[in-house]
Structure 1
């Protein structure tokens, strides 16, 4: 698959705006519009739809979908040659996102995008994750089942309908994110999640590559390869990242001395903790506390 990938940072998770059906007769063009302000996900149910975005062209056949960008120029580059029916979903996000050439590019840009997101979404202290969605792909059976649920909510009262559609949309995005993975990547995702969970549960302990090897029964090189593939960092890099994130919470929520906080999150030496914190955040732990925590 050579399609580009849309990389979203969450939370907040991209949110559902609206959905509907559209049909095209032979000779009809996809509507010409520019900078519509929302992502436009189009799924072709029947026929074939020629569609362009900023000069790129796709001939979408039944069972295929594409996501058009909120700041792009969308139009039909040719008329429909057969009767065509589509489902469309509009969604948007308050967070940071970017279109990347491939997964390698996504992971290379991940840390920079997360740093941008923290400022843009006012989530300086949130535990962030990535959502990867291909721009163009054939829709899976499971994703289609989720999609059909959007239109089964029409009989519900508006308040209930809106809540349920948001929940369905989150499940739909999760399915698209999973569908992106090649069959050979499924093991990598599962193993990376095991590593991440182990680190979260034991970050205050002495975790080394040897400890992870014994706990998960895989060679450290294999663990690092799969963790980097999914999280864009090695297990040891993620451990340090997670410890610093936990220390930021303690700096804001407690009055504990910085030395105690360093020890609580797994750092044995205050100087090492301060150095790692400053390198990641650009300020010392004490300066971070003074900047964000209220003082009496």
Structure 2
């Protein structure tokens, strides 16, 4: 075998190695996010927090607020969600339903270009949630008797820390909430989960560290920006095409396009 053939084989092996690493990374990120959903289903909030990176750039963006660093993540899931839904325990309470179906994953791995730069990834997932309280706990659970649906999209970032993929920047955009028997068209604004109006510094002990643009709910139908370009044209969707004007009106008069925070 000539030196040229050996060099060619080495190049092929290196290319295949990178492809296998990419496929493996995509699979690990998908599993990570699906595990996040399963833990969230059963209010296992400590397990959820443990999925997040220790990196100082870690945050959760939810309902117009951003919870910064691992401490902010802890404050949201354990300080807010656990106290509200399960009386501050870690795990479910009898009669409370909170199922999250995670699907339609699009994952883009961003390889490291130097030892000082970690490997990261971006991913888009769709969520469909069914939630509520059983009639047997209507008098004991603070939510009373309620059933609702929720649909939304994640545009997340992930980071590889010490060889493990972890959630780095989670951005969840709920599109709509709906009572089970009335459907989504009759929902009153703020009926299910109102946006956070105050930050932690403004007196809300379990509030976000900062407020951000981007909160939206039906009938707002703006597009959450895609982290990836079109697979055929290589172009990103135009900003005006992410907006949602009223029927047959000038798009320039509508709400500005949503943007993904850094």
Q: Shorter-chain TM-score: which interval?
A: under 0.3
More helix by share: 1
TM-score (norm: length of structure 1): 0.25
TM-score when scaled to structure 2?
0.27
